[in-house]
Amino acid sequence: MQIKVLSEQLASQIAAGEVVERPASAVKELVENAIDAGATTINVDVREGGRKLIQVADDGDGIAAEEVELAFLRHATSKLDSAESLTAIRTLGFRGEALAAIASVSHVTVVTRSREATTGVRLALEGGHRRSQDNVGAPQGTVIAVENLFYNTPARLKFLKSITTEKRVIDEIVTHYALAYPQIRFRLTHDGRISFQSSGNGSVRDVLVAVYGADVARLLLSIDDNDGHQPATSSQSSIIVSGFVGPPSLHRANRNQITLFVNGRWIKDTRLTFAIVQAYHTLLPVGRYPMAVVFVTMAHELVDVNVHPTKTEVRFRDGNRVFGAVQRAVRDALVVQTPVRPFAQLTPTANVAGWGGSLDRQAFVRPNQAPFDLPHPAGPDVEIGYGDSAEDEPATLLGGKQLPIMRVVGQVGASYIITEGPDGLFLIDQHAAHERIIYEQFMAAQANHTIASQGLVAGATIQLTPAQATLLEAQIERLAGLGFQIEPFGPNTFMVRAIPALLSRTDPVKAVLSVVEELEQDAQPLQETIEAQIIKRVCKTASVKQGQTLSGQEMEAMVRQLEACANPHTCPHGRPTMIHLSVAQLAREFGRM
């Protein structure tokens, strides 16, 4: 093919793809513009997850009538005037790309009035081309409405995520900017319903309550560090870390609840996220992550924000110092404000409230590896020696088709049941085994449509973040099929009316939260249905934990139920339920052969 310069239209559509990848990125750019314009109130209205409409209204500086069309040209910006100013960017925008990018792939209408102007102006564009411009009466500020995003880029349209996902990401963006700018009043609606609101009174704590609910916000510890190693006078090089972190007891299944801001910009940074996680070293169970909202403030010269068109990555002049400052600040907040208790020293809970048990998250901790080298765990394909000597065993012996006949010997570490079989001993992981048992029972009940549900007399209310609320709302019907009866109950609040009977001994709020947590884990293997995922989580929540002492009767009941399972050798997540140590292996260990 002949070499040609791309048409302006095509070139801007290609460039637009980098900035406006999805509806949520348009929301981000428009909100950033409103913040840069000095707004004190920002209202975001979204329809159909932003596909139909994204409207951002602010009471900021507004745009002069003679400049309004210019604002939609590529590389047109009022925020940068020289190469030098690029080295110390103080505004969220600076590339002059966003409005041009958004306009080139949608229908845009802007109404704006600058402080000085007596009347406002209304400009309509289609695919970046002006359709009309009129003078109109308007309050000071800017309203930008973006309709039919990606109408002229079918490829992009085809790859859009679900409306639910998009709503969730939009929730995340608006709530995060509300946290970074507590003095600005934010309001977000989805299809006419208020999803989030902040008061603009300047208190980050109040925004935290609006985002995470009062129960979680109350627990958050404040960080207040002034870079201990720097004298307060050398402000040019000081790094200030502030914000809030969760106590170790408030851990989550993923890193999604770690939010970072650098000089008021919400950024993604794996290293700083790691710095925060590491500050919790030994305080959290393996595979669990803290909650944190961390603001890093430093001289603008020390951070390069011009890394990527979406401006969500930054480069630090001295990354190690920033890493150290963040980690130290978080660690200090934890040490000062919580009694630090390394997990290794946790004492097991002594009583078991039946198989239900309580959802004691700290009990998820696994004791250290066995001091000696055990043979390979009995995975799904490993044959376990089947005994033949059932004849004259005492009555306490337990029989079974799938498993060898076993006699319960006792419990170690309040976590493992020891049994004796025809060929040596078995160590059964009580949590994994119980998970397997109730998983099979639950699956059978689901197949027969006989899942038992337990009504809550008073009901229980649960408050979620807007993003979590969006997720849960989309699954309410599916959850009803699994025994959860949940109803919307005010903004981001739900009323739990019933839970699966299996969870009757669990705190209903915690049970629903654990399901929400499961839903938050976006990256699931494709073949796994949402139902299967939720069922596994419910079983995990309902099962006996490590660290629970079991009575002899309870242990026998568990072993007997495990024998009845179709697949007794692994838990629903594929981990082994038991380890076999054969008579021959024991002899070898003792040097007898």
Position 95 contacts ligand ADP (CB under 6 A): yes
The region of 73-81, 155-163, 204-212, 215-223 touching ligand ADP under the rule CB under 6 A is 73-81
Q: Which is nearer to Mg ion, 33 or 514 (CB)?
A: 33
96 touching ligand ADP, by CB under 6 A: yes
The answer to whether 85 touches 301, Cβ cutoff 8 Å, is no
Q: How far is the CB of 240 from Mg ion (least distance, A)?
A: 26
Among positions 376-435, residues that touch ligand ADP (CB under 6 A) are none
**Is 45 near ligand ADP (CB under 6 A)?**
no
**What is the Cα–Cα distance from 248 to 189, expressed in whole angstroms?**
33
Question: How many C-alpha atoms does 16 have within 13 Å on its Cβ side?
Answer: 26
Site for ligand ADP in 572-591 (CB under 6 A): none
- Work out whether 93 is an interface residue with ligand ADP (CB under 6 A): yes
Going from the C-alpha of 364 to that of each of 418, 502, 548, the distances in angstroms are: 20, 19, 11
**From the list ligand ADP, Mg ion, none, which binds 178 (C-beta under 5 to 8 Å, kind-based)?**
none
Question: Does residue 99 belong to the site contacting ligand ADP (CB under 6 A)?
Answer: yes
Q: Locate tokens 């709503």: which residue?
A: 167
225 touches which of ligand ADP, Mg ion, none (CB within 5 to 8 A by kind)?
none
Q: Which residues would be at the binding site for Mg ion (CB under 5 A)?
A: 33, 93, 98
Q: Does 483 bind ligand ADP (CB under 6 A)?
A: no
- Are the CB atoms for 463 and 214 separated by under 8 Å? yes
Distance in angstroms (rounded) separating the CA atoms of residues 289 and 140: 44
Let me know: does 291 contact 257? Beta carbons within 8 Å.
yes
Closest contact distance (angstroms) between CB of 96 and Mg ion is 8
Q: Which is nearer to ligand ADP, 95 or 536 (CB)?
A: 95
DSSP assignment of 111-154 equals: EEE-SS-SSEEEEEEETTEEEEEEEE---SEEEEEEESTTTT-H
3-state secondary structure of 407: strand
Q: Judged by CB under 6 A, which stretch of 31-39, 162-170, 208-216, 565-573 contacts ligand ADP?
A: 31-39
Task: Return d(Cα 433, Cα 568) in angstroms, integer.
Answer: 7
What's the distance, Cα to Cα, between the start and end of the chain in Å? 77
CB of 33 to Mg ion, least distance (A): 4
Instruction: For the segment 122-151, give every residue that binds ligand ADP (CB under 6 A).
Output: 142
The percent of the chain in helix, strand and coil, each rounded to the nearest 5, is 35, 25, 40
Binding status of residue 309 toward ligand ADP by CB under 6 A: no
Question: Contact between 46 and ligand ADP (CB under 6 A)?
Answer: no
362 binds ligand ADP (CB under 6 A): no
Instruction: Please answer whether residues 50 and 21 qualify as being in contact, where contact means their C-beta atoms are separated by less than 8 angstroms.
Output: no
Nearer to ligand ADP, 97 or 554 (CB): 97
Structure tokens at 89: 């960017």
423 interacts with, out of Mg ion, ligand ADP, none, CB within 5 to 8 A per kind: none
**Residue whose beta carbon is closest to ligand ADP:** 93
* Element holding 586 (H helix, E strand): helix 583-589
Q: What is the contact surface with ligand ADP in residues (CB under 6 A)?
A: 29, 33-34, 37, 58, 60-63, 71, 76-79, 93-100, 142
